[in-house]
Amino acid sequence: MNLRHLVFVAALVSVPAGALAKSQAPSPSAELRKQAAAANDAGHPDEAAKLFGQAYSVDPDPTLLFDQAQAYEKANDLDDAIATYKKFLDAKGTNPDQVKQAALSMSALQAKQSQAAADKQKAALQQAEDEKQEAELQREAEITSAQQEKAALVQKIQTQQQPSRPSLVPGVVVLGVGAGAVALGAVFGIQSNDKVSEFNSTFDRTQRPQLRDQAQSRAHAADACFAVGAVAGGVGTFLLIRALTDSPPPASTPTAVLLDRGAAVAWSGSW
């Protein structure tokens, strides 16, 4: 071994260890890529997409855009996935296989996006139709309720306006009073006739005036009772007819008339 070889070996041995360690340390982009892959495998595609985007900002490798678009797709973020696929397809230095897969994925996502928009529009139309039908049902219910209230009010008014059937009791009571008055008048009439007979059969000048006065007073009492009986009979008959026929009362008024030898009842008005 000559001197040059010894110097070269010594130079290799004297390389700083820190410089060698620095050349072996991973780059920031690689570390972010590793974290993104771990997040994606753990079921957090949204976090993975964010980390892939950070890695691409450090190292503009188109593969990172492809990975980021797939993470967005896995997270069902259609808008960001389509936009990132488009950005990947517009980039330079892309992998042909990834380009083909990105084009197919973007086409499928666009179709899915269109279908989602159509479903959303259909749901909105269905909701509007349901709200319209509900409003119509509500309006019909309000109309039905108003008609029922109106019918109930009309029935209530008709019930209030319908006159109640008169009772038979007042007519019977008044007729009873009239019958009693007539009977009492008959008693007074008999007594008056008896006094008249006594007056005609006696010649005692002291008794004749008393008998005459007694006969006249009883005759007047009989006439008054007959008049009361006649009025009561007419009123009672009227009340009974009204109660039995349930018809409005006639515009008439019974009037008792006292005569010199008896009584009478007169009716005035229209029937």
pLDDT at 17: 44
**Alpha-carbon gap, residue 244 to 232, rounded angstroms:** 18
Determine how many CB atoms are found less than 10 A away from the CB of residue 64.
25
Judgement on whether residues 105 and 175 belong to the same structural domain of the protein: no
Q: Is 136 part of a structural domain of the chain?
A: no
Q: Is 86 part of a structural domain of the chain?
A: yes
Tokens of 103: 């084009």
**What CATH number does residue 109 fall under?**
1.25.40.10
Last residue within a domain, chosen from 82, 114, 146? 114
Judgement on whether residues 266 and 173 belong to the same structural domain of the protein: yes
Which amino acid belongs to residue 166?
P
47 is in which domain, residue-wise?
24-114
Q: Which of 67, 71, 65 is nearest to 86 (CA)?
A: 65
**Alpha-carbon gap, residue 266 to 269, rounded angstroms:** 10
pLDDT-based confidence at residue 254 (cuts at 50, 70, 90)? low
**Alpha-carbon gap, residue 176 to 53, rounded angstroms:** 116
What tens digit of pLDDT does each residue of 201-247 get? 887 788 888 888 888 888 888 889 888 888 888 887 888 787 777 65
What tens digit of pLDDT does each residue of 45-95 get? 999 999 999 999 999 999 999 999 999 999 999 999 999 999 999 999 999
Judgement on whether residues 264 and 190 belong to the same structural domain of the protein: yes
Judgement on whether residues 173 and 255 belong to the same structural domain of the protein: yes
What tens digit of pLDDT does each residue of 177-187 get? 989 988 998 99
Q: Is 70 part of a structural domain of the chain?
A: yes
95: left (phi over 0), alpha (psi -120 to 50) or beta: beta
pLDDT at 161: 66
Q: pTM for the complete prediction?
A: 0.45
Last residue within a domain, chosen from 96, 114, 132? 114
Statement: residue 101 has pLDDT above 70: yes
Q: Is 79 part of a structural domain of the chain?
A: yes
Judgement on whether residues 176 and 251 belong to the same structural domain of the protein: yes
Judgement on whether residues 35 and 100 belong to the same structural domain of the protein: yes
Q: Which of 75, 72, 53, 73 is nearest to 64 (CA)?
A: 53
Grouping H, G, I as helix, E, B as strand and the rest as coil, residue 77 is coil
Statement: residue 24 has pLDDT above 60: no
Q: Is 137 part of a structural domain of the chain?
A: no
> What does the pLDDT average to over 19-37?
74
Q: Is 258 part of a structural domain of the chain?
A: yes
Higher-pLDDT residue of 189, 171? 189
**Alpha-carbon gap, residue 125 to 82, rounded angstroms:** 27
pLDDT at 182: 87
Q: Which residues contact 201 (CB under 8 A, 6 or more apart)?
A: none
Q: DSSP letter at 205?
A: T
Q: How many domains does the chain have?
A: 2
Q: Is 150 part of a structural domain of the chain?
A: no
Q: Is 222 part of a structural domain of the chain?
A: yes
Higher-pLDDT residue of 48, 262? 48
Tokens of 33: 């890529």
What tens digit of pLDDT does each residue of 153-177 get? 888 887 776 666 677 788 789 889 9
